[in-house]
Amino acid sequence: MKILVPVKRVVDFNVKVRVKADHTGVETANVKMSMNPFDEIAVEEAVRLKEQGAASEIVAVSIGVAQCQETIRTALAMGADRGILIETRVETQPLAVAKLLKALVERESPGLVILGKQAIDDDCNQTGQMLAALLGWAQGTFISKAKIGDGKAEVVREVDGGLESLVLKMPAVLTADLRLNEPRYASLPNIMKAKKKPIETLTPEALGVDVTPRIATLKVEEPPKRKAGGKVAGVAELVDKLKNEAKVI
């Protein structure tokens, strides 16, 4: 079975993002970029499935500018077998990404697509669901456990207030939650081996997908600065303020 793992290049989670001066988005020039952390978990899961013998090939795919190749290369260093870069300068939105992935699924015929549950830049949390809908496949979102059996996948989902166990018919789309696994660090020998693994470059046009954004961003603003708090002399004053100023008790 082949597994397709989409990986997104995002601003590194350690970076304190700054809004661009013209308020059209956040500054990404000269900012450290990394693989979306949830996608790392997705890659790790695919690699583990391959190590267990449940998968035979892992294809990592990224959509975006040429530098996304480095994100793919990181996935290859973690254990993916080959990569596909769909190169575009358009800032693709979830529906466009889902359509591109659908086109790739039709071309590659994987048995499983594992995505991160969301990307930490736009926090959309839509792509996996849209892809499953477009393909008409079963979906297991926010998973913290996956067991691949004969023609079916048993997954545990992290839902509000607890865990939900599902059996999905394969092929299926899975989206990884934080507790699914702890991704490995790519070792230097594997990083060097990844250099020799192939990366194919495609374009949205070649796949016949229109990626024109359908949502326009009007303005991006910093959240309001938190005002400095006040100090209280003791419990009595605190209770008084909670009662009479904040009116919460």
Partner 1 sequence: MNFELSEEQRIFRDQVRAFAECHLKGGALARAHSGSYPRDIARLMAANGLFGIALPEAVGGQGGALLDSVIALEEVSLACPRSGDVIQAGNFGAIRTFAEYATADQRQRYLKPLLAGEMLISVAMTEPDAGSAVTDLKSALKADGEGWRLSGSKVFVTNSEEADLFLVYCRYGPGVEGIGSVLLERGAEGFEIGRPSQYMNGESWCPLFFDGVYVPPENVLLGRGGFKKQISGFNVERLGNATRAQALGRYCFNQARDYALSRQQFGRPLCEFQGIQWKFAEMEIQLEAARLLLYRAATRAETGLPSAQDTSIAKAMCNLAGHFAANESMQVMGGMGYSADTLVEWCLRKTRGWLIAGGSLEMMKNRIAEGIFERRFSQRPPRAGARAGADG
Task: In whole angstroms, give the CA distance from residue 248 to residue 112.
Answer: 50
Cα distances (angstroms) measured from residue 214 to each of 135, 142, 182, 189: 21, 26, 35, 43
Please give the residues from 53 up to 72 whose contact with partner 1 meets the rule CB under 8 A.
69-70
Binding mask 110-149 for partner 1 (x = CB under 8 A): ----------------------------------------
Give the binding range for partner 1 (CB under 8 A) out of 45-53, 152-160, 189-197, 228-236. Answer: 189-197
**Contact call for residue 191 and partner 1 (CB under 8 A):** yes
Q: Which is nearer to partner 1, 10 or 156 (CB)?
A: 10
Beta-bridge partners for 115: 175
Interface residue with partner 1, options 52, 56, 109, 187 (CB under 8 A): 187
CB atoms closer than 10 angstroms to residue 226: 6
239 lies in the binding site for partner 1 (CB under 8 A): no
What angle, rounded to 10 degrees, do the helices at 94-108 and 127-135 form?
50
Shortest distance, position 224 Cβ to partner 1, whole Å: 19
| Cα–Cα distance measured from residue 227 to residue 110, given in angstroms and rounded to the nearest whole number | 52
Which member of 21, 161, 165, 195 binds partner 1 (CB under 8 A)?
Answer: 195
Contact by Cβ (8 Å): 86, 100: yes
Question: Could you say whether residue 192 binds partner 1 (CB under 8 A)?
Answer: yes
- The rounded distance, in Å, linking the Cα atoms of 66 and 70 is 9
- We find the least distance from the C-beta atom of residue 72 to partner 1, in angstroms, to be 11
Q: How far apart are CA 127 and CA 120, in angstroms?
A: 13
Which of 8, 10, 34, 38 binds partner 1 (CB under 8 A)? It is 34
Cα distances from 234 to residues 41, 108, 126, 227, 231, in angstroms, run 47, 67, 48, 21, 9
Residue 196 is a binding residue for partner 1 (CB under 8 A):
no
The size of the interface with partner 1 (CB under 8 A), counted in residues, is 16
* Contact footprint for partner 1 (CB under 8 A): 14, 34, 69-70, 73-74, 77, 185-189, 191-192, 194-195
